[in-house]
Amino acid sequence: MQIIYLPPPCSNGGLHLGHIGGVYLPADIYRRLLKLLTKEQIYSIAGSDENNTYTLKKSIKIDKNIYETADFYSNEIRQALDSLDIGYDSFVRTSSIQHLLTVNDLVSEIRKSPHVEEAPVLQLYLKSKNKFVTDSLVVGNCYNCGSETDAGACENCAILIDHSKLISPKFYLDSEPLELKECQGLKISNSKITSQLIEKIQNSNWNSKIKEVALNWILDEKNSEIILTRIFEYGLPVFDDPSQELTIPLWFEAVWGYFTGINHITNSEDCLRILNEDKTKFSVFMGQDNLFHFSVSLVLIHIILNIKNIPDNLFVEPFLKLEGQKFSTSRDHAIFAKDIIQYLDSDTIRFGLFPFYGSNEEGASFTLERFKENIAAYLDLIEFVLKQISDSRRIFNFTNKEFIRKWKFSDQSKQLIDLLENGGLNKIHDTLMKNYESLIHSSDSDLTDEAKDKIFYSIMVLMESLCPKFVDRIKSVFGRFRLNTNTAIKYRNLIIENEKKYIKEIKSGMERFSLYYVQKIIK
């Protein structure tokens, strides 16, 4: 079994191309390729993070209660994933009863650890309102890198913010200076399990840069304690709390959505046992601001819960920019899934967006010019595939179990599996285009028919991960040409004509989207 986890976005807005291109689309392509190339059971878990200050702030802004806001945007997030054919086996809303029960089961186990204690902790306090505040209700400067941040996690350096060390904390609405006030809470001491943390991370399959960042955090004395609870009126409540005030912050309970997802998929409460099994693999896709939560915090919790497995893969992507600037909903500098889908179909968007993934270590920038180039490459591939399906012999091979078996043991198949297992997901698009180039530039004497067929099959496998609906339509031709009958030829020609109409629709949609984009973004 392999679990693929897509950390739930906050339910304070829809999904824009930055979210989709950096996390959700790459995760879906990875999921699809694993299903096509291996015999593993693959389960994908998505969701929405609803018990947080970001949703509260949005609610205040639009004059709704937090539950209405969470419900509206959680549905919008789910619709965005569905509209782009991003698959999942479980969608975990963190406001659900199942998540509440799962998280409190985990907290009950965590409390048994000698590394966890109930003790006085310091939390930021708004004196004029006589209430504790946390996360995005606070504005200050990070004590680690100096950047402006809230009291959750620093977007710049990704460190989990310690309230007592945040520089110049103020309330977000009126800049009232905040005080530190003592309250009871649960906290985790890392000092006695530092060696276990280091060993787990050093022995992981993570890339060297992620390991280095995680190990530096562990060895930094500033991170010797992590606060497990906060007081927040809309947070996920802790059972058996005498004060009835303690909640689990989003950087724990939303991160733990994969536990709930596993329970949901298996219709059980066996998430701890399943994560402990040798055969269970676990991959997480995230933006750079989630790295602390899914490296240090997650491993720490797994050690406390006696879970021997940690994520096999952490896919961390810097923020995708939009024409060189950060995506910003407040500045209306964003293209949302619900907007672009009005102009282009899901396959075209997926193919046009994916090449930005992993193309720049500092974070790629979405530009209209490059998006157009990617779509032009997609159109070339469609034309190429349509020419191929006129070859009855080649199409027959795609229903031939012996041919498919041979391909799965071929160098092409092994190369794709090797890319997935060794952090090469960002090279999938380049591999597709190289295979395409090798066929269109080859002469009859360069490659045997069998070799050409294997390369073409590789192209179709890769395209199926990127543009699944197109490939599904083409697959409907496969197997209808055992006898080259007039009916079979007529069906094939009908498919080809329909796809030529599809090409025209894409070109028309791109013209309309370009006008919209220039008016909204370029201005």
Do residues 375 and 261 both lie within one domain? no
Residue 385 has pLDDT above 80, yes or no: yes
> Residue 289: its pLDDT value, please?
84
Do residues 475 and 353 both lie within one domain? yes
Residue 24 has pLDDT above 70, yes or no: yes
In a domain, 304, yes or no: yes
Task: Write the pLDDT tens digit of every residue in 296-310.
Answer: 999 999 999 999 999
> Residue 401: its pLDDT value, please?
78
Task: Write the pLDDT tens digit of every residue in 390-417.
Answer: 765 555 556 677 888 888 888 889 999 9
Confidence of residue 479 (pLDDT cuts 50, 70, 90): low
Task: Write the pLDDT tens digit of every residue in 7-23.
Answer: 999 999 999 999 999 99
In a domain, 510, yes or no: no
Cα Rg of the chain (Å, integer):
25
Greater confidence, 140 or 389?
140
> Residue 452: its pLDDT value, please?
86
Write the DSSP string, 427-448: GHHHHHHHHHHHHHT--TTTS-
Task: Write the pLDDT tens digit of every residue in 27-70.
Answer: 999 999 999 999 999 999 999 999 999 999 999 999 999 999 99
Do residues 83 and 200 both lie within one domain? no
In a domain, 509, yes or no: no
CATH of the domain at 157: 2.170.220.10
Do residues 124 and 137 both lie within one domain? yes
Strand partners, 314: 284
> Residue 453: its pLDDT value, please?
85
For the segment 347-369, the average pLDDT, to the nearest whole number, is 92
Task: Write the pLDDT tens digit of every residue in 189-227.
Answer: 888 899 999 999 999 999 999 999 999 989 886 677 899
User: Is residue 49 within 8 Å of residue 94, measured between CB atoms?
Assistant: yes
Do residues 243 and 254 both lie within one domain? no
User: Is residue 139 within 8 Å of residue 170, measured between CB atoms?
Assistant: yes
Diameter of the chain by CA atoms?
Answer: 83
Confidence of residue 484 (pLDDT cuts 50, 70, 90): low
Supply the mean pLDDT for the chain: 92
Confidence of residue 522 (pLDDT cuts 50, 70, 90): confident
Q: Distance between CA atoms of 310 and 200, rounded to whole angstroms?
A: 8
> Residue 22: its pLDDT value, please?
93
For the segment 344-373, the average pLDDT, to the nearest whole number, is 93
Do residues 366 and 481 both lie within one domain? yes
Q: From 187, 216, 247, give the residue that closes a domain.
A: 247
In a domain, 498, yes or no: no
In a domain, 341, yes or no: no
> Residue 222: its pLDDT value, please?
66
> Residue 190: its pLDDT value, please?
85
Give the count of domains, the chain.
3
For the segment 372-384, the average pLDDT, to the nearest whole number, is 97
Which residue, among 309, 316, 323, 327, has the nearest Cα to 367 in the 3D structure?
Answer: 323
Task: Write the pLDDT tens digit of every residue in 225-235.
Answer: 899 999 999 99
Confidence of residue 517 (pLDDT cuts 50, 70, 90): very high
> Residue 33: its pLDDT value, please?
96
Which of 79-93, 139-153, 181-195, 347-361: highest mean pLDDT?
A: 79-93
> Residue 68: its pLDDT value, please?
98
Confidence of residue 149 (pLDDT cuts 50, 70, 90): very high
Do residues 277 and 379 both lie within one domain? no
In a domain, 422, yes or no: yes
> Residue 58: its pLDDT value, please?
95
Do residues 272 and 160 both lie within one domain? no
Confidence of residue 502 (pLDDT cuts 50, 70, 90): very high
In a domain, 194, yes or no: yes
> Residue 191: its pLDDT value, please?
83
In a domain, 521, yes or no: no
Confidence of residue 158 (pLDDT cuts 50, 70, 90): confident
Do residues 183 and 225 both lie within one domain? yes
User: Is residue 288 within 8 Å of residue 158, measured between CB atoms?
Assistant: yes
User: Is residue 235 within 8 Å of residue 248, measured between CB atoms?
Assistant: yes
CATH of the domain at 91: 3.40.50.620
User: Is residue 470 within 8 Å of residue 495, measured between CB atoms?
Assistant: no
User: Is residue 43 within 8 Å of residue 3, measured between CB atoms?
Assistant: yes
Q: Which domain holds residue 369?
A: 346-487
**pLDDT > 90 fraction of the chain, expressed in percent and rounded:** 74
Which of 276-280, 419-423, 445-449: highest mean pLDDT?
A: 276-280
Do residues 479 and 416 both lie within one domain? yes
User: Is residue 239 within 8 Å of residue 104, measured between CB atoms?
Assistant: yes
Q: Distance between CA atoms of 517 and 121, rounded to whole angstroms?
A: 49
Do residues 288 and 227 both lie within one domain? no
Do residues 151 and 75 both lie within one domain? no
Three-state DSSP state, 368: helix
Greater confidence, 421 or 350?
350
